[in-house]
Amino acid sequence: MAPRPFFSAGAWVQGRGEPIESRNPETGDVIVSLSCASAEDLDDAVEAARRAIAAPSWANLPRHMRARFLHRMGELIDRDRERLANVQMQDNGKVLSECRALLESAANTFRYYAAACETLEGTVPPARGPYLNMVLEVPVGVVGAITPWNSPATLEAQKLAPILAAGNAVILKPSEVTPLIGLEYAALAKEAGFPDGIVSVLTGGIDLGRAMVSHPGIDMISFTGGTAGGRHIAAEAARKLKPVVLELGGKSPHIVCADADLEKAATAVAMGIFSGAGQSCVAGSRIFIEASIADEFTSMLVEAARSLPLGSPADPETQIGPLVSFAHRDNVHAHVSRAVAAGANLLVGGVLPTDSRLSAGAYYPPTLLNRLSNNSDIAQQEVFGPVGVILPFEDDEDLIAQANYSDFGLAAGLWTRDIGRAWKIATRLQTGTLWLNSYKNLSISTPFQGHKQSGLGREKGLDGLRQYLQTKAIFWPA
Ligand code: NAD
């Protein structure tokens, strides 16, 4: 059977690249073989995109008409939510209830940017002479979007919706590990009626991503993925003077002060690192506990970790599904094994499941380590699995120094009932997002930005739309 085609220039295409396979991490079975785009296939998609943005049918389309396409995408995702949630689950192993929530969020993302598309306004700055001065917000052109495997349903909606709302064309390259939702979105974009060439979704690996970054016909790159990939992309984009948005990795501190509601904090800290099997950019993977409650709270966390059922992502009882792939599971295990060999204490987990129910899948148990140094590899490197390290702190100065000792600055959580202390710590933590007495609340209307090596640029909110626009100032003499 021919591999599944990708979507380019309004049509389903058999590519000239080497095909790849999508596998279900619950069983290791191949779901489908996929056709991949070569450099020539990319040229075709870019040429179609450039034609499409120049055509009056897109360039002159009133904003409310453009917004209709986005509303329609939201409706189509809602219509197909159950099917799409199952596709996402099989491709990436996330539990079904979470996949349903991701699809709901994706539909809302299209609606949010439909509204923003209609309401975002230019400005008329005060005149400094006998002229009228208008500042228009115009599209950047053709945007290349490159996405990771951990939450394609939302991460790809967060690229497509604002890029299109801003009036650009988009060429999306989903992760080669989880390409299926991107292809489903392509089919919905065709059904929603976007002009041919405005949305293309090409399947392929890093080579295709690299070709997109250096392609002269792609005006901007929006990347979500690891910090190493982001660094390469930033360097190549600098050579081309091409704007980039980079949403990168994290090693987020989750902090528990002695006066916190410990019951609530234990549940949130456990879910902060173990939900999605830890494969979240904002996973609270460095757990800082005030020294006076370190033993008590560590026991609570170990108990919480033991109580989380591992199993089939389709089972409603399951809290932790398989990791995305066997290769990634082995990588996570290697991180833990190296940490233990270097002297860390394994409190729970850290062993591949032997249970016959789980041994066919890429499962890894919730794992906690302590008695290690904050500058050890496992406390500094992103593991991207269900692995938390526990680090005690003595006082606020010690906490701030330890929590900020990281290349990353994506997110943080803080549990305390003392509002003065909360404020002081919140203002000193180097982070793009901070959750007080909660964790992982996300909102499409709130900008999301990594500090330090966690990123450049912002997604979500109106800032997430503006970065795909450029200003054009027009001076008009009286
Ligand atoms: P990855 O960087 O390996 O790959 C991401 C995507 O980029 C894939 O499509 C890949 O093919 C492509 N790619 C990789 N290197 C490239 C290069 N040099 N040039 C062009 N394309 C390239 O990341 P991953 O393993 O798929 O995803 C996990 C990472 O994503 C984690 O570090 C996680 O923290 C991060 N992430 C960040 C956010 C955020 O919003 N900050 C959200 C989700 C995931």
What's the one-letter identity of residue 43?
A: D
* Sequence-separated (6 or more) residues with CB below 8 Å from residue 136: 122, 471, 472, 473, 474
Residue 312 lies in a domain: yes
Q: Give the atom of ligand 1 at the shortest distance from the alpha carbon of 173.
A: 9
Domain housing 319: 253-443
DSSP 103-139: HHHHHHHHHHHHHHHHH---B-PPPSSSEEEEEEEEE
Residue 169 lies in a domain: yes
Q: Are 174 and 182 in contact (CB under 8 A)?
A: yes
Q: Are 267 and 174 contained in the same domain?
A: no
Please state, as a whole number, how many other Cβ atoms lie within 10 Å of the Cβ of residue 376. Answer: 17
**In a mutational test of the pocket of ligand 1, which residue from 149, 324, 381, 451 has the highest number of ligand atoms less than 8 Å from its CB?**
149
Letter string b/e over residues 294-326, b meaning 16 or more CB atoms within 10 A of that residue's CB: beebbebbbebbeebebbbbeeeebbbbbbbbe
User: What are the catalytic residues?
Assistant: 159, 247, 281, 459
Q: What is the overall mean pLDDT for the chain?
A: 97
- Give the pLDDT band (50/70/90) at residue 373: very high
Q: Give the position of tokens 């919480």.
A: 304
* Nearest CA owner, ligand 1 atom 40: 247
Q: How far is the CA of 151 from the centre of ligand 1 (A)?
A: 11
Residue 468 lies in a domain: yes
Q: Are 236 and 123 contained in the same domain?
A: yes
Q: How far is the CA of 230 from the centre of ligand 1 (A)?
A: 7
DSSP 241-274: T--EEEE-----EEEE-TTS-HHHHHHHHHHHHH
Q: Give the atom of ligand 1 at the shortest distance from the alpha carbon of 450.
A: 41
Q: Are 147 and 273 contained in the same domain?
A: no
**In a mutational test of the pocket of ligand 1, which residue from 172, 175, 180 has the highest number of ligand atoms less than 8 Å from its CB?**
175
Rounded CA gap, 49 and 44, in Å?
9
Pairing of strands 244-247, 30-36: unpaired
Q: Residue 478: what pLDDT? A: 80
- Give the pLDDT band (50/70/90) at residue 200: very high
Q: Is the pLDDT of residue 357 over 90?
A: no
Q: Residue 475: what pLDDT? A: 94
Q: Give the atom of ligand 1 at the shortest distance from the alpha carbon of 226.
A: 32
Q: Is the pLDDT of residue 1 over 90?
A: no
Q: Is the pLDDT of residue 402 over 90?
A: yes
Residue 1 lies in a domain: no
Q: Residue 131: what pLDDT? A: 93
Here the CATH number for the domain that contains residue 327 is 3.40.309.10
Q: Is the pLDDT of residue 193 over 90?
A: yes
Rounded CA gap, 120 and 25, in Å?
42
Q: How far is the CA of 159 from the centre of ligand 1 (A)?
A: 14
Q: Are 284 and 392 contained in the same domain?
A: yes
Region 335-355: mean pLDDT is: 97
Q: Residue 421: what pLDDT? A: 98
Rounded CA gap, 85 and 77, in Å?
10
Q: Are 278 and 411 contained in the same domain?
A: yes
Q: Rounded to whole angstroms, what are the CA distances from 332 to 228, 248, 378?
A: 17, 18, 10
For the stretch 410-457, pLDDT in tens is 999 999 999 999 999 999 999 999 999 999 999 999 999 999 999 999
Q: Are 294 and 260 in contact (CB under 8 A)?
A: no
Q: Residue 281: what pLDDT? A: 98
Rounded CA gap, 438 and 271, in Å?
11
CA 327 to chain centre: 20
- Give the pLDDT band (50/70/90) at residue 128: confident
Residue 161 lies in a domain: yes
Q: Are 184 and 259 contained in the same domain?
A: no
* Sequence-separated (6 or more) residues with CB below 8 Å from residue 441: 435
Q: Are 212 and 287 contained in the same domain?
A: no
- Give the pLDDT band (50/70/90) at residue 104: very high
Q: Are 73 and 155 contained in the same domain?
A: yes
- Give the pLDDT band (50/70/90) at residue 192: very high
Residue 357 lies in a domain: yes
User: What's the structural domain count of the chain?
Assistant: 2
Residue 149 lies in a domain: yes
Q: Are 78 and 164 contained in the same domain?
A: yes
Of all residues in the chain, the percent with pLDDT exceeding 90 is 98
pTM, two decimals, is 0.97
Q: Are 205 and 279 contained in the same domain?
A: no
Here the CATH number for the domain that contains residue 67 is 3.40.605.10
Q: Are 186 and 275 contained in the same domain?
A: no
Rounded CA gap, 284 and 383, in Å?
11
pLDDT: is 127 or 418 the higher one?
418
Question: What lines the ligand 1 site, CB under 6 Å?
Answer: 146-150, 155, 173, 175-176, 205-206, 209-210, 213, 224-226, 229, 232-233, 247-250, 281, 382, 384, 410, 450, 455
Q: Residue 356: what pLDDT? A: 87
- Give the pLDDT band (50/70/90) at residue 388: very high
* Nearest CA owner, ligand 1 atom 37: 248
Q: Are 259 and 238 contained in the same domain?
A: no
Q: Residue 415: what pLDDT? A: 98
Q: Residue 141: what pLDDT? A: 98
Coil, helix or strand at residue 191:
helix
Q: How far is the CA of 223 from the centre of ligand 1 (A)?
A: 7
Q: How far is the CA of 410 from the centre of ligand 1 (A)?
A: 15
**Which two three-digit tokens encode residue 420?**
């003065």
For the stretch 18-75, pLDDT in tens is 999 999 999 999 999 999 999 999 999 999 999 999 999 999 999 999 999 999 999 9
Q: Residue 36: what pLDDT? A: 98
* Nearest CA owner, ligand 1 atom 15: 229
Q: How far is the CA of 136 from the centre of ligand 1 (A)?
A: 33
What's the one-letter identity of residue 340?
A: V
